[in-house]
């Protein structure tokens, strides 16, 4: 018997999905539909306001954010990083309650992350469910706190032979933010 060098190629990199796939697909579709409805905005654009700020914790160690709010809804976009070897982008639709100095909210969104390691590049798509509040402490300034429940929907690990599925558990991550509304 002749020993020949193995011509096996590394397994192709693929996206590993959680099971059941239908639940993840339905949740992602609902998040995208909610974000699309929120992005459509109000019928009267003059009623909306833009807020900008920074956040600590949550989807990244530090992030810059932009939020468009109208009535009691909001659409937030965050761009952040944990250690400058990765980038995370989140889109979250929020529903605010009340019209007081402290406004609680709940929402749904998606978190995409791209990370580089010595083994390669990894990509993840994570569902986010926030619950928190924004507190107005001055005319155009807010402080916020939230807990985001995060669940992996799909990922591609840096190691092509690592085909373990993502965890099915919801992982809570706290986030603190400062927001500022430009004067009109």
Please determine, for residue 5, whether its predicted confidence score (pLDDT) is greater than 50.
no
Helix (H), strand (E), coil (C) string for the chain: CCCCCCCCCCCCCCCEECCCHHHHHHHHHHHHHHHHHHHHCCCCHHHCEEEEEEEEECCEEEEEEEEEEECCEEEEEEEEECCCCEEEEEEEEEEECCCCCEEEEEEEEEEEEEEECCCCEEEEEEEEEEEEEEEEEECCEEEEEEEEEEEEEEEECCCCCCCCCCCCCCEEEEEEEEEECCCC
Residue 8 lies in a domain: no
Specify the higher pLDDT residue, 13 or 104. 104
Lowest mean pLDDT among 25-29, 55-59, 77-81: 25-29
* Candidate from 133-142, 159-168, 170-179 with smallest mean pLDDT: 159-168
Q: Which of 42-56, 61-75, 83-97, 108-122 has the lowest mean pLDDT?
A: 42-56
pLDDT confidence of residue 109: 97
Cβ-in-10-Å burial (0-12, 13-18, 19+) of 139 comes to exposed
- As a whole number, mean pLDDT of residues 71-82 equals 94
2 within domain boundaries: no
Give bridge partners of residue 49 from the DSSP assignment. Answer: 69
Whole-prediction pTM:
0.72
**Structural domain includes residue 24:** yes
In a domain, 21, yes or no: yes
Tell me the CATH number at 145. 2.40.160.20
Integer Cα distance of 178 and 102 in angstroms = 14
Residue at 108 is within a domain: yes
Q: Give the chain's domain count.
A: 1
Average of pLDDT values for 9-25?
49
Residue 66 clears pLDDT 90, i.e. is over it? yes
- Domain with 146, as residue range(s), is 16-40+48-180
pLDDT above 80 for 21: no
Q: Per the domain annotation, does 10 fall within a domain? A: no
What pLDDT band is residue 91 in, cutting at 50, 70 and 90? very high
Q: Which of 74-78, 96-100, 125-129 has the lowest mean pLDDT?
A: 96-100
- Determine the pLDDT at residue 31: 53
């Amino acid at each position: 018997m002749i020993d020949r060098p193995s011509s096996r190629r590394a397994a192709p990199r693929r996206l590993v999905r959680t099971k059941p796939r239908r639940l993840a697909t339905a949740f992602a579709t609902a998040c995208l539909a909610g974000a699309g409805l929120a992005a459509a905005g109000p019928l009267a654009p003059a009623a909306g306001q833009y807020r900008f700020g920074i956040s600590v914790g949550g989807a990244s160690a530090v992030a810059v954010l932009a939020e468009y709010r109208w009535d009691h809804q909001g659409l937030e976009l965050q761009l952040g990083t944990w250690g400058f070897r990765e980038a995370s982008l989140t889109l979250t639709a929020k529903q605010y309650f009340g019209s007081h100095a402290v406004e609680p909210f709940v929402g749904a969104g998606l978190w995409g992350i791209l990370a580089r390691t010595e083994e390669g590049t990894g990509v993840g798509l994570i569902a986010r469910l926030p619950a928190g509040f924004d507190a107005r402490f001055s005319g155009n300034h807010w402080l916020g706190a939230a807990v985001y429940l995060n669940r992996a929907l799909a990922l591609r690990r840096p190691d092509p032979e690592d085909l373990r599925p993502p965890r099915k558990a919801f992982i809570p991550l706290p986030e603190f933010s400062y927001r500022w509304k430009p004067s009109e």
